A = this chain, B = another copy of it.
Amino acid sequence: MSSLTIHASSHDYEVIIEEGIRHELLNYIASDYRKVLVITDDKVSNIYLDDVVRGLGKELDVHTSIVPSGESSKSMRQYERLLDACVEVQLDRHSLILALGGGMIGDLVGFVASTYLRGIDFIQMPTTILAHDSSVGGKVAINHLKGKNLIGSFYNPVKVIYDTETLFTLPAEEIRSGYGEVIKHAFLSSEEWCSNLLQVSLDNISSEQIKDDLMKGIKVKAGIVESDEREKGIRRYLNLGHTLAHAVESELGYGKITHGEAVGIGLWFALRVSQRKLDASLPVDRYRDWLKSNHYPFDILKDLEVDTLLKRMKWDKKTVHQKINYVLLNQIGTPCVVELSDQEIQTDLNLFIKEVRAT
């Protein structure tokens, strides 16, 4: 069993990574809960919900609620519906909510837990690689029609329980998506880890390597959010690759590309801009080849308009007074935030789209 303690401002919480842990869940949750509401999506529920309910034992009063899978469930409508479910089963301040699923579930359910009775305990049980990122750090949210994650809170789980067996059933695009954030964490922290990842083919990655990368990624994230929980400073580094990714996701319509794949592509752009603006020495060509050999779907960028993307990037909640603050790299492991003019971004985007078309 691998485990790690995260020091949040509200409380410390443990991340536990282990194969098959869902079958013995009861050993990993505090004993004074009387009632548990497990919330999951309609894909995960088919495969793992029974295991989890059984894993909670017979003593607890366990209820379940299922939302449709997909980003479109991170909505005000599902938020309201889940609050109704909490009221319906009469969760009180001594109850527990268990979020079983990928990032969508973690974000949505975390937001429910953060606001039901002004906040009750919840546990993250991520079932994707991508969720190694979102399950740690306390950001929970739903989407607004005008943008991703515009409505939410900072609210930490009481525990993160990662059953790596649930990753075996992930489709290829979900592995790519997870590794978009994993490799971002590598670029933010370690040349050696980066080099190692750039030699990995996601088609035949071992479960040992996944477990190892998850722990490394979570450590990078934890180190940053522990010193800047509310994103006043260095937490913004975690947005590396995200400004373009969010623009692409919202321009295509959510669900057309996975979040992590978009981040993987956005990272490529951020590396190129880092080369141009900061004269950074970075393995961009190698990274581009890695994206290509691992089938990241950058083709869908070919038909996007530069002006439209720019507009989307400016209406991102990270913009301050309508200028774009971009996370770039001075070198691997040394991120920084740079304010870019519209003109610069336009030029860089034009060059980038040209490169994408040629790749």
Contacts and interface: CB of A to CB of B under 8 A. Distances in A.
Contact of A152 (B34, B76, B115): B115
Contact of A118 (B116, B119, B139, B319): B139
Copies in the complex: 2
A154 B117 contact: no
A83 interface: yes
Contacts of A320: 92-94
Contacts of A111: 115
Given A92-B320, A94-B320, A117-B317, A150 B87 contact: yes
A114 interface: yes
Interface stretch (A140-148, A184-192, A193-201): A140-148
B153 A118 contact: yes
Contact of A153 (B76, B114, B146): B114
Contacts of A76: 80
Interface residues of A, number: 34
A320 B119 CA distance: 15
Contact of A87 (B93, B144, B154, B319): B144
B146 A87 contact: yes
Contact of A317 (B80, B92, B152): B92
A29 interface: no
A317 B118 CA distance: 10
A319 B118 CA distance: 15
Contacts of A315: 90
A65 to B, nearest CB: 16
19 contacts: A84-B144, A87-B146, A92-B317, A92-B320, A92-B321, A93-B320, A94-B320, A94-B321, A111-B115, A114-B153, A115-B115, A115-B152, A116-B151, A117-B150, A117-B152, A118-B149, A118-B152, A119-B154, A119-B230
